Amino acid sequence: MRVAAIDCGTNSIRLLIADVDLPGSGALTDVVRRMTVVRLGEGVDQTGEFSAAALQRTFSAVDDYAELIRKHKVQAVRFAATSASRDVSNRGEFIDGVRARLSVEPEVIRGSEEAGLSFAGAASVLNWDVERKVLVIDLGGGSTEFVLGTSAGAEHAISTDMGCVRFTERHMRSDPPAETECSMAAFETLSFLEDVAQVVPLHEAEAVIGVAGTVTTVTAHALKLEDYDAETINGAELSLDAIHQSVDQLVHTTRDQRAAMPFMHPGRVDVIGAGALIWGTILDYLNKVTGGRVSTAIASEHDILDGLAMSVAHAAAENRHHESKGAGT
């Protein structure tokens, strides 16, 4: 079955068109995977609404994706909006615009569902021969999800209003950021982590997987890649020391220096410093609360998009099954 999944976040909108092996293993085979930085959540922290410019950028990307969906003869589509889309005052304008372009109802999904979908996608990078508690962290533009689970699925999850776009606008105003700005961002990250630990038993984590653009960009820097190579990044396991070296450089370089890095996506230049700082602070905290057991982190290129694609394929297959049963009665 050929399906399409669209994940519309605070910083970027992403498309996955994939063939799903159903009935069968349920494995995904990519047909198209695209990412466009639209900064939909730009200014939302201050204004509480999407700007006209941000909506126009997003709708332009949706038009492009709609054309690809038609071209590749997709059978089922799911559009999920996260974080910034949950609380804005002009959410209706956003939903109407997407519906008109794709002829599907966009879903503004709850943080708990976002977390479960992210876990399903991210954990596909693991070899589950050894049973262990895995913590998946999806560090986005407006929110960060923490999901703890095993091969059986997610067990504990929480979504927080912490992300690279929010923290850039809130804290990182200098170029490069001043130490006081970095300190305030780190302090707020730790405050969020204390709240997370009340819901998700972070001390039980035996392995950590990070997903989304901040984590993969830090990984690309640590691996000294000459360009962005998703296959090399996917599944890469790095020591915390190696990650922190990259975090420090990404946080303390100028905008021009970041823009010149060969693996850097242009839309991530302005927000990678805040994202890297959040990622490094999270890993330090986990190392502490697990008594040093968490000493590495794995990057995954598979995330909520893969989870969305699997979910829409299973839903479509279930609908077909019911329709065929109804036709036979």
Tokens of 307: 């989870």
User: Which of the listed ranges 77-86, 104-113, 130-139, 180-189 does the model predict with the highest average pLDDT?
Assistant: 180-189
- Asked whether 321 and 261 are in contact (CB, 8 A), the reply is no
For the domain covering 2-111+305-328, report its CATH number: 3.30.420.40
**Percentages helix, strand, coil for the chain, rounded to the nearest 5?**
50, 20, 30
Query: What percentage of the chain carries pLDDT values higher than 90?
Result: 63
Instruction: Check residue 280 and give its pLDDT.
Output: 97
- Spatial distance between the Cα atoms of 209 and 134, rounded to a whole number of angstroms: 7
What's residue 57's pLDDT? 96
pLDDT digits (tens, 9 = 90+) for 260-300: 999 999 989 999 999 999 999 999 999 999 999 999 999 99
Q: Distance between CA atoms of 104 and 174, rounded to whole angstroms?
A: 42
Q: Which residues, in sequence order, are bridge partners of residue 160?
A: 144
Q: Give dist(CA 234, CA 244) in Å, integer.
A: 19
Confidence at 23, pLDDT banded by 50, 70, 90: low
Domain with CATH 3.30.420.40 in the chain: 2-111+305-328
Q: What angle do CA 173, 174, 176 make, to 5 degrees?
A: 130
Residue 308 has pLDDT above 60, yes or no: yes
The answer, yes or no, to whether residue 324 has pLDDT greater than 70, is no
Minimal CA–CA distance to 15: which of 68, 82, 72, 75?
Answer: 68
Q: CATH number for the 125-302 domain, one of 3.40.50.2300, 3.30.420.150, 1.10.10.10, 2.130.10.10?
A: 3.30.420.150
Each residue of 137-181: pLDDT tens digit? 999 888 898 999 998 888 999 889 899 999 999 999 899 999 999
- Using the predicted structure, report yes or no on whether residue 103 has a pLDDT greater than 90: yes
Q: What is the dihedral of CA 299, 305, 310, 312, to 10 degrees?
A: 170
pLDDT, tens only, 110-139: 777 777 887 888 887 777 767 889 999 999
- Band the pLDDT of 318: cuts 50, 70, 90: confident
b vs e for 95-122, b when ≥16 Cβ sit within 10 Å of the residue's Cβ? bebbeebbebebbbbebebbbbbbbbbb
- Beta bridge partners, 157, equal 147
Q: What is the pLDDT of residue 83?
A: 61
pLDDT digits (tens, 9 = 90+) for 225-261: 999 998 899 999 999 999 999 999 999 999 999 999 9
Is the Cβ–Cβ distance between 246 and 279 less than 8 Å?
Answer: no
Q: Could you give the residue ranges of the DSSP H alpha helices within the chain?
A: 44-47, 52-71, 91-102, 111-122, 164-170, 179-196, 213-222, 230-233, 240-252, 255-259, 272-289, 304-328
45 compared with 139, residue with greater pLDDT? 139
What are 107's strand-pairing partners? 80
What is the pLDDT confidence band of residue 26, given thresholds at 50, 70 and 90?
low
User: What mean pLDDT is reported for the chain?
Assistant: 89
Where does the chain hold its CATH 3.30.420.150 domain(s)? 125-302
What pLDDT does 219 receive? 97
Per the model's pLDDT, the better-predicted residue between 117 and 198 turns out to be: 198
The burial class, CB within 10 Å (0-12 / 13-18 / 19+), for 281 is buried
Max Cα distance, the chain (Å) = 71
Torsion region of 235: left, alpha or beta (phi above 0 gives left; psi -120 to 50 gives alpha) = left
Give the integer Cα–Cα distance in Å for 79 and 320.
Answer: 20
pLDDT at 328: 57
Buried b / exposed e over 72-85, threshold 16 CB at 10 Å, is eebebbbbbbbbbb
Give the side-chain half-sphere CA count within 13 A for 194. Answer: 6
* Percentage, residues of the chain above pLDDT 70: 94
For residue 210, report the phi and psi dihedrals to the nearest 5 degrees.
-110, 140
Instruction: Tell whether the model's pLDDT for residue 47 goes beyond 60.
Output: yes
Listed range (23-27, 33-37, 55-59, 176-180) with the worst mean pLDDT: 23-27
